């Protein structure tokens, strides 16, 4: 039996331990990926340090991977990547509550075929690892607030969408998707990231550290004749500002926000409220069948096509951490300490 290296979580609060484990065989609907790069997300250090959504120990954490398809199950759909192809893939260890075959922090991982997207040769493995969670979560958020694959704002019809925290991986993906759907995209982010966010399609960018940012956004939108009734909040902790903007710019419609942070966790004493504005936590469909159909569209179709045409690009900036899997704890510590406009990546 073949084997590979992996970073194991033996207990919440402990450092991950490098070990060797048997390489699994893909089930009927799965792909086996040889991981070439992995990217880190904030939930990863929460899971390592607090056991967040982990029920099975020893566990393997991690969601964002890129690599090469080594093997495919018997019922993999024809739209999925083929053996030998380069892919970005969403490892579902989070949904499997830590089951080790499905976590991304290892050299070979099982993924559902519907969560993998073929990548063009011009995109490196490091860049590709930035994509999976950010793209899926952004799409899930938009579907949750009533936008979907059929949404397309006609040219000449100005309809705005606000992305708060646009320099994050989810925020920058949400910005690009909204731009592709035809929205005039306003973005709130740290000033040092403004020029970069313009290259991703932001129409206007505002400094969310400015005490008058809400008034600035509202003033500019009114000057532009822009209604804004949708938003994607990638930060969560400044939800009140996002809600206030929509309350002033939504017109007679209801305003709705996709929130990437659970409101109960961000606001234990109660989330802010504005009349006519609702915040919905970002989440994919609840049923496995609906979730897989959502994944298949996002990865096997939409992302594959948009990467091929260059309409969607990996974002935000990446920082490569030397040492590969041996540096996993160091990288998680750096992520925990805080990064801005950057995603940490380990390359094997």
| Residue pLDDT, tens place only, 87-117 | 999 999 999 999 999 999 999 999 999 999 9
pLDDT of residue 264: 65
Is the distance from CB of 64 to CB of 131 less than 8 angstroms? Answer: yes
Between 272 and 199, residue with greater pLDDT: 199
pLDDT tens string 205-241:
999 999 999 999 999 999 999 999 999 999 888 899 9
As a whole number, the mean pLDDT across the chain is 95
Q: If you ran DSSP here, which 8-state letter would residue 96 be given? A: T
Which residues are bridge partners to 38 per DSSP?
65, 346
Instruction: For each of the domains in the chain, give its residue range(s) and CATH number, in order of start.
Output: 3-131+287-347 (3.90.180.10), 136-281 (3.40.50.720)
For 56-84, what is each residue's pLDDT tens digit?
999 999 999 999 999 999 999 999 999 99
Q: How far is CA 200 from CA 119, 194, 205, 259, 273, in A?
A: 19, 10, 11, 21, 31
Whether the predicted pLDDT of 266 surpasses 90: no
* pLDDT of 268 over the 90 cut: no
User: Nearest Cα to 318, choosing from 4, 70, 88, 50?
Assistant: 88
- Rounded to an integer, the average pLDDT of 182-193 is 97
Rounded CA-CA distance 117/250 in Å is: 36
Strand 277-281, strand 255-259: pairing: parallel
The whole-number pLDDT of residue 289 equals 92
Q: pLDDT-based confidence at 265, cuts 50/70/90?
A: low
The predicted model scores a pTM of 0.96
**To the nearest whole percent, how much of the chain has pLDDT over 70?**
99
Q: Quick one: which H or E segment has residue 99?
A: none
Confidence at 262, pLDDT banded by 50, 70, 90:
confident
Which pLDDT belongs to residue 288?
A: 87
The pairs formed by 280-285 with CB atoms below 8 angstroms and a separation of 24 or more are: 280/141, 280/144, 280/145, 280/256, 281/144, 282/137, 282/140, 282/141, 282/144, 282/258, 283/140, 283/144, 284/136, 284/140, 285/143
pLDDT computed for residue 157 by the predictor: 76
Whether residue 267 is predicted with pLDDT greater than 80 in this model: the reply is no
Measured distance CA(261)–CA(169) in Å, rounded:
14
pLDDT digits (tens, 9 = 90+) for 111-152: 999 999 999 999 999 999 999 999 999 999 999 999 988 899
Of the chain, the end-to-end C-alpha distance in Å amounts to: 22
Write the pLDDT tens digit of every residue in 1-31.
Answer: 799 999 999 999 999 999 999 999 999 999 9
Question: What pLDDT score does 269 carry?
Answer: 79
Cα–Cα distance, 52 to 140 (Å, whole number): 21
């Amino acid at each position: 039996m073949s084997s590979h290296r992996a970073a194991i979580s033996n207990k919440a609060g402990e450092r991950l331990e490098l070990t060797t484990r048997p390489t699994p065989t893909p089930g009927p609907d799965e792909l086996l990926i040889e991981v070439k790069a992995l990217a880190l997300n904030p939930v990863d250090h929460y899971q390592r340090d607090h056991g967040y959504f982990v029920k099975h120990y020893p566990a393997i954490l991690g969601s964002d991977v890129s690599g090469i398809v080594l093997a495919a199950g018997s019922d993999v759909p024809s739209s999925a990547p083929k053996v030998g192809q380069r892919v970005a893939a969403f490892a579902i260890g989070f949904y499997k509550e830590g089951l080790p075959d499905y976590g991304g922090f290892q050299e070979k991982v099982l993924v559902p075929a519907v969560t993998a997207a073929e990548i063009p040769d011009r995109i490196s493995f490091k860049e590709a690892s930035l994509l999976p969670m950010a793209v899926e979560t952004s799409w899930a958020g938009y579907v949750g607030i009533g936008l979907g694959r059929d949404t397309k704002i006609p040219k000449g019809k100005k309809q705005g969408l606000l992305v708060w925290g646009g320099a994050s991986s989810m925020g920058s993906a949400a910005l690009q998707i909204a731009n592709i759907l035809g929205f005039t995209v306003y973005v709130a982010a740290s000033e040092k990231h403004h020029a970069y966010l313009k290259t991703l399609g932001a129409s206007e960018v505002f400094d969310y550290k400015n005490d008058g940012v809400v008034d600035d956004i509202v003033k500019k939108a009114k000057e532009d004749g822009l209604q804004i009734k949708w938003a994607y909040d990638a930060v969560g902790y400044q939800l009140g500002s996002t809600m206030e903007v929509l309350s002033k710019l939504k017109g007679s419609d209801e305003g709705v926000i996709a929130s990437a942070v659970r409101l109960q966790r961000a606001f234990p004493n109660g989330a802010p409220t504005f009349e006519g504005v609702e915040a919905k936590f970002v989440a994919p469909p609840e049923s496995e069948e609906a979730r897989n159909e959502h994944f298949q569209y996002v990865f096997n179709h939409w992302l594959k096509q948009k990467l091929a045409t260059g309409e969607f690009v990996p974002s935000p900036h990446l920082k490569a951490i030397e040492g590969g899997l041996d540096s996993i704890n160091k990288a998680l510590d750096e992520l925990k300490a805080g990064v801005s406009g950057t995603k940490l990546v380990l390359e094997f």
